[in-house]
Amino acid sequence: MPRHLVSFSNGGCRFDALSIFGRFASGPAQRITVWCTSFSPFCGRHSQVFGTLVAMTRLDRFLPAPQLRQIDHIDVGAPLDRTWLAVRHFDLARSPFVAALFALRTMPDRVRGRAATHEHLCLDDLTAPDSGFRILDEGPAWVTVGAIGKVWQPEISFVEVTADTYARFQDPGWVKVAWELRCETRGSGITRIIIEVRVAATDVESWKHFVGYFRVIGPFSHFIRRHMLSLIAKKLGRPAGWERVEPLPGDALIADAAGEATDGVTIAAQPEDIWPWLVQMGCGRAGWYSFDLLDNAGVPSAAAILPELQALHAGDIIPATPAGDAGFEVLLVDPPRALVLGGLYDMDGGSQRRFTDKRPERFWHVTWAFVLEPIDATHTRLHVRARAAFGPKGFNLQALTAPLIHHVMETAQLRNLRQRVETARVAL
């Protein structure tokens, strides 16, 4: 097994930085992989793509035509500055799983009697002077790291490089590895942590050596990178934590809400592309994109935008379920930003009243808001919030079970809606 790439002790104990930041399997949130089908200095023209390429990044300055390109990311519910501080100083040695893998990988050194100490596995340790890796660029919320070496050899040789000489190096017999950690704001209180890896060889034989080496390293790098992102997300929290406290349109319509549930999903589309799918919702219309057997009389929800259902106005009633006359009253239509539905239901009379009518003695008063927040040119966060109020005599078993039922139905709705929108965009 090749020796590892980053030294942490005078005894030669090394940790494989490439195994952390290089792999070809899915990450905790999304993954993009470009795997060149054959060696070429212009392999971008001959690549097999498993996923979708993203916009150019600072890595293009150092490795513009990689033969292997991988991107993993996860969204956290924390502002950019706090997230970057956690990422920049994250210590992998705190994880017992990583420590166990490290102990396994350093077994040869310990058998030879070399001390294997690894008290810390922070970014500064991974780029220590004897590691072979160098920080090529660093900014307020990113850091770019690179190395040139013969990583497949038991005793790895590295080329001493700087930010200025890295991109120009083309001597045969070597592999160039560059990776970048960066954080990007994805909305109010939401930050995306991204790990991008690029690899290119300077000749055909070196690429063949690397491919064989990486097929062994891949499973380990997969676990460690996913684990790293998961640990950071666990510390900072997922975006739902911020969505629960962020004010949304429709909140003020029920000032005395006794219950509230907020969910969300990030969709690879602009608000204008998502809006038509929201407007056409309803039982007997396009469906609710959830469990059709329960809320749409078993009729499959629409898999396309229906032009005849795009006219929606405040005061309209959208059928809620196959049985009964009650539905959701349209309270706010603000294209392509917010759609707020709601209802005031008389529990004794079994009927629906206008939302602004006087509440009966036993009632349910609810709002259901769908809010589109653009993240960037290609992504939108859909926030969904349900709020409910009921009088002292309106509380019953349904009030106890409604949150769980809503969560199950809402989760399915958001999952299916995202799939429909993104599939439709790919088909265009």
Contact 200, 194 (CB under 8 A): no
**Same structural domain, 174 and 275:** no
**Same structural domain, 131 and 279:** no
pLDDT at 336: 96
317-319 vs 259-267, strand pairing mode: unpaired
pLDDT at 294: 87
Which of 220, 239, 258 lies at the terminal end of a domain, its last residue? 239
Nearest 5°: CA angle at 35, between 32 and 37?
A: 150
H runs (alpha helix) in 237-270: 240-243
Which one has a higher pLDDT value, 270 or 25?
270
Which of 188, 206, 239 lies at the terminal end of a domain, its last residue? 239
Q: How far apart (Å, rounded) are the C-alpha atoms in residues 194 and 142?
A: 9
User: Of 388, 382, 390, nearest to 411 (Cα)?
Assistant: 382
Which of 184, 209, 239 lies at the terminal end of a domain, its last residue? 239
**Same structural domain, 311 and 400:** yes
Q: Please provide the DSSP assignment of 121-161 as one string.
A: --HHHHT-TTSS-EEEEEETTEEEEEEEE-TTSSS--B---
- pLDDT tens figures, 380-391: 999 999 999 987
- pLDDT tens figures, 67-102: 998 888 888 989 999 999 999 999 887 777 766 665
- pLDDT tens figures, 292-327: 998 898 999 999 999 999 999 999 999 988 876 779
**Same structural domain, 101 and 57:** yes
pLDDT averaged over every residue in the chain = 80
Position 399 in a domain? yes
Q: Which domain holds residue 387?
A: 247-427
**Same structural domain, 199 and 307:** no
Position 347 in a domain? yes
Position 211 in a domain? yes
Question: With 0-12 CB in 10 A as exposed, 13-18 as middle and 19+ as buried, what is 252?
Answer: exposed
Where residue 398 sits, what CATH number does that domain have? 3.30.530.20
Structure tokens at 6: 């980053």
Longest alpha-carbon distance in the chain = 83
- pLDDT tens figures, 245-284: 788 999 999 999 988 999 999 999 999 999 999 999 999 9
Position 390 in a domain? yes
Position 114 in a domain? yes
- pLDDT tens figures, 192-233: 999 999 999 999 999 999 999 988 887 777 677 778 888 898
User: Of 228, 205, 177, 199, nearest to 73 (Cα)?
Assistant: 228
**Same structural domain, 225 and 269:** no
Position 84 in a domain? yes
Which one has a higher pLDDT value, 6 or 342?
342
Contact 346, 363 (CB under 8 A): yes
**Same structural domain, 178 and 50:** yes
Which one has a higher pLDDT value, 377 or 420?
420
**Same structural domain, 367 and 408:** yes
Domain count, the chain: 2
**Same structural domain, 233 and 252:** no
Position 1 in a domain? no
Q: How far apart (Å, rounded) are the C-alpha atoms in residues 145 and 266?
A: 29
pLDDT at 393: 57
- pLDDT tens figures, 373-416: 888 778 899 999 999 998 775 555 565 667 778 889 999 999 99
**Same structural domain, 140 and 189:** yes
Q: Is the pLDDT of residue 45 over 70?
A: no
Give the three-state DSSP class for 300: coil
Position 214 in a domain? yes
**Same structural domain, 260 and 234:** no
**Same structural domain, 318 and 263:** yes
